């Protein structure tokens, strides 16, 4: 499977701390399932939100589409072991259905990061 795109995003978690209090921002960026996950993370709320945001931005960078993709059409889900993966919805799902998407998210106390590697399925 040839690699067709790689995206990386990095974010200071402190930049997310103010934004997670805004329902306008949360509804624009995160799906309801993501919002439920974030709100259940306790002291890791901002770090989790930052990691999910980074995953969405890394995907957008990997496909080279910039701001034309609605971030709510990119959803971070988790398998039974907690490993994150992306599910694409709407026109984004239709447009990129042929891609295999590999995702890794990490964070420290101050910084969140995500990497997306795209390959042809």
CATH number for the domain harbouring residue 62: 3.90.470.20
Residues with pLDDT less than 70, the chain: 67, 121
Instruction: Look at residue 1 in the predicted model and tell me its pLDDT.
Output: 75
Q: Domain range spanning residue 91?
A: 3-120
Instruction: Look at residue 119 in the predicted model and tell me its pLDDT.
Output: 96
Instruction: Look at residue 68 in the predicted model and tell me its pLDDT.
Output: 85
Split into its structural domains, the chain has a count of 1
Instruction: Look at residue 67 in the predicted model and tell me its pLDDT.
Output: 67
Contacts 24+ apart (CB under 8 A), 80-84: 84/55
């Amino acid at each position: 499977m040839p690699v067709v795109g790689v995206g990386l995003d990095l974010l200071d978690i402190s930049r997310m701390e103010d934004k997670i209090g805004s329902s306008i921002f949360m509804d624009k960026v995160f799906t309801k399932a993501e919002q439920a996950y974030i709100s259940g993370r306790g002291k890791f709320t901002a770090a989790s939100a930052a990691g999910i945001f980074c995953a969405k931005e890394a995907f957008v960078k990997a496909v080279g589409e910039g701001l034309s993709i609605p971030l709510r059409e990119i959803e971070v889900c988790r398998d039974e072991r907690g490993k994150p993966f992306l599910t694409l919805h709407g026109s984004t799902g239709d447009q990129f259905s042929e891609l295999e998407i590999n995702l890794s998210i990490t964070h420290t106390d101050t910084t969140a990061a995500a990497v997306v590697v795209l390959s042809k399925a």
